[in-house]
Amino acid sequence: MELRPCTEQQLPEILDIFNDAILNSTALYDYKTRTLDMMQAWYADKQKGNYPIVGAFDENNLLLGFSTYGMFRVRPAYKYSIEHSVYVRPDKRGQGLGKILLKEIIKKAQEQNFHTLVGVIDASNTVSMKLHEAEGFVLTGIMKEVGFKFGKWLDAAFYQLILETPECPVGE
């Protein structure tokens, strides 16, 4: 397995991973699958914001999973906070890839001088919650019944990791 940046070439594989999560889980609070055009816009936003998309690839160059982050909120004072996500192909889950991808995205956030990583996890996803807790994330709150999918109300758990970066934060 090799970690490296994802390029536009991986967008069809990223699309498959996203769409599986949309159709079969509460990892994404979406109803409709995404299109390749939507993924190209998503990719362009990541590039514009200088937000990494870290891929885990097997020896045949197959994308096994990816992690990324983006803006947490649009107001300027949030500039040191980001919201991250980690996705692994369904047939590759339970093999430690999520942990590897999460550690790498934390490292990237430190390198880019962010201060806070936020993860919003469906509260029924105990695997993801335990993964985040093992990497030092703290549960900061649960928003009850903020989503509705698969005929039931969903609670969103907010996890936060505070980094020691940046050394010299500036306002405005």
Cα 47 to the chain's mean position, in Å? 15
Given this model, what pLDDT does residue 23 score?
A: 97
DSSP label at residue 44: H
- Predicted confidence at residue 171, as pLDDT, reads 85
- In this structure, CATH architecture of domain 2-162: 3-Layer(aba) Sandwich (3.40)
Predicted TM-score (pTM) of this structure: 0.94
Helices (H) and strands (E) in the chain, counts: 4, 7
Confidence of residue 172 (pLDDT cuts 50, 70, 90): confident
* Mean predicted confidence (pLDDT) in 127-146: 97
Quote the tokens at residue 160.
């936060």
pLDDT single digits (tens) 49-80: 999 999 999 999 999 999 999 999 999 999 99
pLDDT digits (tens, 9 = 90+) for 80-120: 999 999 999 999 999 999 999 999 999 999 999 999 999 99
Q: What average pLDDT does the structure give for the chain?
A: 96
Distance CA 52, CA 67 (A): 8
CA distance 65 to 98: 8
List Cβ neighbours of 63 (8 Å cut-off, separation of 6 or more).
Answer: 6, 10, 13, 14, 17, 55, 56, 57, 89
Rounded to an integer, the average pLDDT of 29-45 is 96
Domain residue extents for the chain: 2-162
Q: Is the pLDDT confidence value at 4 over 90? A: yes
Q: Where are the beta strands (DSSP E) in the chain?
A: 2-5, 53-57, 63-71, 81-88, 116-122, 138-149, 152-162
d(CA 161, CA 61): 31
Phi, psi of 138 (to 5 degrees): -115, 135
Q: How far is CA 48 from CA 34, 43, 70, 123, in A?
A: 20, 9, 10, 31
Q: Which residues pair with 87 in a beta bridge?
A: 66
Q: Strands of 53-57's sheet, edge to edge?
A: 2-5, 53-57, 63-71, 81-88, 116-122, 152-162, 138-149
d(CA 92, CA 96): 9
